[in-house]
Amino acid sequence: MINLIKQKYAFLLLLIALISSSKTWAQQDKLFSQYMFNMMALNPAYAGSRDVLSATALYRNQWGGMTGAPQTATFSIDMPVNRERVGLGLQLFNDQIGLENWTGAMLSYAFRIKVGERSTLALGLQGGAMSFRWDLAKADLGNNLSDPAFASNVSKILPNFGTGIYLSNDRSYLGVSVPYLIENNLNDYDNDQRAKVRRHFYAMAGFVIGKNSVKLKPSMMARYVNGAGLSLDGNLNLWFNDRIAFGASYRHNRFSTYAGKIQQLPDGSVLRGDALVGMIELQLSDQFRLGYSYDWTRNNLNQSRKFLNIPTHEIMLRYEFGFSKSKILTPRYF
pLDDT for 211 equals: 82
Provide the greatest CA pair distance for the chain: 68
Angle at 287 between CA 281 and CA 289, to 5 degrees: 15
Whole-prediction pTM value? 0.81
Q: What is the pLDDT of residues 316-328, one digit of tens each?
A: 999 998 655 455 4
pLDDT for 108 equals: 98
pLDDT for 212 equals: 86
Classify the C-alpha dihedral 10-28-232-207 as positive or negative: positive
pLDDT for 155 equals: 86
- The rounded distance, in Å, linking the Cα atoms of 209 and 317 is 25
Q: Please check whether residue 281 is in contact with residue 32, taking contact to mean a CB–CB distance below 8 angstroms.
A: no
CATH number of 2-329: 2.40.160.60
Please give the C-alpha separations between residue 2 and each of 11, 57, 304, 305, in angstroms, as whole numbers.
14, 37, 14, 12
Compute CA 184 distance to the chain's CA centroid, rounded to the nearest angstrom: 19
Q: β-strands 214-225, 154-169: how paired? A: unpaired
- The rounded distance, in Å, linking the Cα atoms of 60 and 314 is 4
Q: Please check whether residue 193 is in contact with residue 205, taking contact to mean a CB–CB distance below 8 angstroms.
A: no
Task: Tally DSSP H helices, then E strands, for the chain.
Answer: 2, 16
Provide the percentage of residues in the chain whose pLDDT is more than 90: 46
The list of the chain residues with pLDDT below 50 reads: 1-27, 256-271, 301-308, 325, 328-329
pLDDT for 193 equals: 55
pLDDT for 309 equals: 57
Q: What is the pLDDT of residues 136-179, one digit of tens each?
A: 776 666 665 666 666 677 788 999 999 999 999 988 999 999 99
